[in-house]
């Protein structure tokens, strides 16, 4: 799915149940998509890799059944970010930190109420966000 399709899928969830996590995920998706257009060609592969991971996280939080069985795999290695792009990338990384923490918090919340399937989905989304963030650092 491309970013616009994922954004639409996530927006439908926001429209039904507006919560801080989904709103922040939409915001971070917009930031990451804009970052992709503004960075130099040297930084583009890192941003593209982070975007792919982040799109899966968004789809998980939107409960897209097509990604229920996906797993994030091993933590990726950071990729090259050109010096002239670092400040802009760091701002997106900061937002991804917030989103990752919110995903973990939602996982903990649902675990408390014994909704383990939902908790696992949020924790998996947090892992994808973490991998996207690590790709950019």
Q: What phi and psi values does residue 60 have, to the nearest 5 degrees? A: -65, -45
Joined together, the tokens standing for residue 61 give: 């939080």
Instruction: Report pLDDT for 100.
Output: 95
Rounded to two decimals, what is the model's pTM? 0.84
Instruction: Report pLDDT for 41.
Output: 96
pLDDT single digits (tens) 94-128: 999 999 999 999 888 888 777 788 888 889 999 99
Reference 23, options 108, 135, 99, 131; nearest CA is 99
Phi-psi region of 54 (alpha: psi -120 to 50; beta: other; left: phi over 0): alpha
Q: How far apart are the first and last CA of the chain?
A: 25
pLDDT single digits (tens) 21-51: 888 999 999 999 999 999 999 999 999 999 9
Joined together, the tokens standing for residue 123 give: 């924790």
Q: Chain-wide mean pLDDT for the chain?
A: 91
The stretches of 1-137 forming alpha helices (DSSP H) are 3-16, 20-38, 44-61, 86-112, 116-135
Instruction: Report pLDDT for 73.
Output: 84
Joined together, the tokens standing for residue 76 give: 């990726």
Cα 3 versus chain centre, distance: 11
C-alpha–C-alpha distance, residues 109 and 115, integer Å: 9
pLDDT confidence of 18, banded at 50, 70, 90?
low
Report the percent of the chain where pLDDT is more than 90: 62
With a cut of 90, say whether residue 57 has pLDDT above it: yes
Reference 103, options 32, 24, 40; nearest CA is 24
Q: What is the mean pLDDT of residues 54-63?
A: 92
Q: What is the mean pLDDT of residues 77-103?
A: 95
């Amino acid at each position: 799915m491309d970013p616009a399709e994922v954004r639409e899928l996530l927006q439908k969830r926001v429209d039904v149940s507006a919560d801080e996590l989904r709103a922040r995920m939409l915001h971070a998706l917009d930031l990451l998509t804009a970052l992709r257009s503004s960075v130099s060609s040297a930084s583009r592969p890192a941003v593209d890799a982070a975007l792919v991971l982040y799109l899966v996280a968004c789809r998980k939080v939107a409960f897209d059944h097509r990604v229920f069985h996906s797993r994030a795999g091993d933590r990726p290695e950071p990729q090259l970010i050109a010096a002239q792009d670092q400040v802009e990338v760091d701002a997106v990384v900061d937002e991804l930190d917030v989103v990752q923490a919110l995903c973990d918090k939602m996982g903990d919340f649902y675990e408390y109420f014994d909704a383990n399937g939902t908790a696992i989905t949020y924790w998996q989304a947090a892992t994808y966000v973490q991998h996207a963030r690590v790709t950019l650092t």
